[in-house]
Amino acid sequence: MGEEDLGRVRAAAPGVEVVATTTPGRDLLARADAWAGHLDPDDLALAGRLRWNHLWTAGADADLSPRSLAAEDVVLTTSAGNGAVPLAEHALMLMLVLDRDLPRWLDAQRAHTWERRRHPELAGQTVGIVGMGAAGRDLALKCAAFHMRVLGLRSRPDRPADGVERMYGPGDLAAMAAECDYLVLAAPLTEETRGMVDADVLAVMRPTARVVNISRGEVVDDAALLEAVTSGRIAGAGLDAHAVEPLPEDSPWWDVPGVVVTPHNAATTPQTLARAVDIFVDNVARWAQGRPLVNVVDKRSGYAP
């Protein structure tokens, strides 16, 4: 955070000591009432006064799993929603790139070859969005604007979302996937979503269908997806999230035809960072005034509802 942003934080909580650091020292951890940023379990053990931990990430999966019972009274908040717009844009980009086979045009350009061909259009195709958080909802509107048929899946299927024709519940993933030309994964990583797109789900998808992942790699059974794509069971995939990151140099994903790989880069925009700061400054003011915080993580579900 720059000095201007730190000034905003200090102004939001007059009288509160605000310390910016890149290394959480023992003394600072011991006297911190609130902390913004990731804390390792060893750091957490030193933070005896800690009552609030804010994460710069939208997801809490990396911070919930190692936490001990001693940290249960620490309120955990996230920056959920800060990357919704670029995540939705990235998913749409991957869909367009795959649908039009953009790599083929780029190869032709490098070869100075004028290669005209017939190609599909997204209009009229069906997209199923798994996870209707901020990114999923924004993507639904964008896909609807592209004249696509939009299906959604969320933990509470009784809650509608703009642009979504039909909402499914977690137990209906295979039923929704069977209808999709594109299955887009925008769900948080939790024990319930880990590996949810497995061989059984992929088996019911159309041979022309594709999977797009903008959430976490572990939401997909990586081996099952690789087999489905390489065998022609489905047509391809657009992957911004991967089971192992950085993606190893010897990973087969780099060279699979019909697959576009990006390096978990979808939401890496200046606006994403700015929105994260806005969320934190708002929460600092709420914390200083004793008001309810936003983006509080439900530790049972593993994400901020």
The helix/strand/coil state of 265 is coil
The single-letter DSSP state of residue 252 is G
Catalytic one of 31, 147, 245, 291 = 245
Catalytic one of 137, 210, 216, 242 = 216
Helix-then-strand count for the chain, H and E = 11, 10
Question: E strands of the chain, at which residues?
Answer: 34-36, 52-54, 75-77, 126-130, 149-153, 166-168, 182-185, 210-213, 236-239, 259-261
Rounded Cα distance between 225 and 234, Å, is 9
Rounded Cα distance between 210 and 26, Å, is 49
Rounded Cα distance between 46 and 57, Å, is 22
Supply 169's token pair: 């519940």
Q: Which helix (H) or strand (E) holds 276?
A: helix 270-289
Catalytic one of 67, 206, 233, 264 = 264
Rounded Cα distance between 71 and 214, Å, is 30
The H-assigned helical ranges of 162-256 are 173-177, 199-203, 222-230
Active-site annotation holds for 245: yes
Rg, the chain, Cα only: 21
Active-site annotation holds for 216: yes
Rounded Cα distance between 101 and 95, Å, is 10
How many CA atoms does the CB half-sphere of 15 hold within 13 Å?
A: 4
Active-site annotation holds for 264: yes
Supply 36's token pair: 């913004």
Q: How far is CA 256 from the centre of its chain?
A: 23
Rounded Cα distance between 51 and 47, Å, is 9
The residues annotated as belonging to the active site are 216, 245, 264
